Amino acid sequence: MSPGIATNSRIAASNYVMVDTSTFAALQSNKYLNLESFRKNGQGVRTPVWFAGDPVSGPPQKLYVYSEGDSGKAKRIRRNSRVRIAPCDMRGKVVGDWIDARAEIVKHEEAGYGERLLNAKYKPWKQLFDFFAKFKRREGVIFAIDPVG
């Protein structure tokens, strides 16, 4: 069987399902995402992050990620929206294919929506993280990540 083709053992071998790598469907079942953003010199910096997909059911068309506003990845994304993403474990070890994408910092209603998706997916850990983040007095940001293509 060639890469990118998945089969269901209950379906006859002639009925292949093509995996569409232009969407984020392959990421939906993962807990962590390796987000690679790029420095001014073009060098990639990889960071494992929590993410939530929109829509929640079915293949997501957009992903949301939380970060501190003054983090390196936030600064890099403000400068260059090009990113690559891949499913990973909590230490950042990539366990799937890289996908080219674009990230932008969102505000207002969309940021609130992304925050609610993240809170629902990572309950109660995200709420605990947010509680302690209040003591740092740093502003958080929400990235919206869209596939390129």
The structural domain count of the chain equals 1
What integer pLDDT is reported at residue 17 of this predicted model? 33
Find, among 26, 77, 22, 21, the residue nearest to 47 by Cα: 77
17 within some domain: no
80 within some domain: yes
Q: What is the CATH number of the domain that holds 140?
A: 2.30.110.10
Asked whether the beta carbons of 119 and 127 are under 8 A apart, the reply is yes
What integer pLDDT is reported at residue 80 of this predicted model? 97
**What pTM, to 2 d.p., does this model score?**
0.76
73 within some domain: yes
Find, among 144, 80, 68, the residue nearest to 110 by Cα: 144
20 within some domain: no
Please give the chain's pLDDT, 149 residues, in tens.
334 433 333 333 333 333 344 468 778 788 999 999 999 999 999 999 999 988 766 677 899 999 988 999 999 999 999 999 999 999 999 999 999 999 999 999 999 999 899 988 887 756 556 655 666 666 789 999 998 86
Alpha helices by DSSP H, listed for 87-148, are 108-121, 125-133
What integer pLDDT is reported at residue 29 of this predicted model? 82
Find, among 104, 97, 83, 94, the residue nearest to 32 by Cα: 94
Alpha helices by DSSP H, listed for 32-134, are 72-79, 108-121, 125-133
What integer pLDDT is reported at residue 134 of this predicted model? 62
What integer pLDDT is reported at residue 68 of this predicted model? 87
Q: Distance between CA 76 and CA 29 in Å, rounded?
A: 27
What integer pLDDT is reported at residue 10 of this predicted model? 36
4 within some domain: no
13 within some domain: no
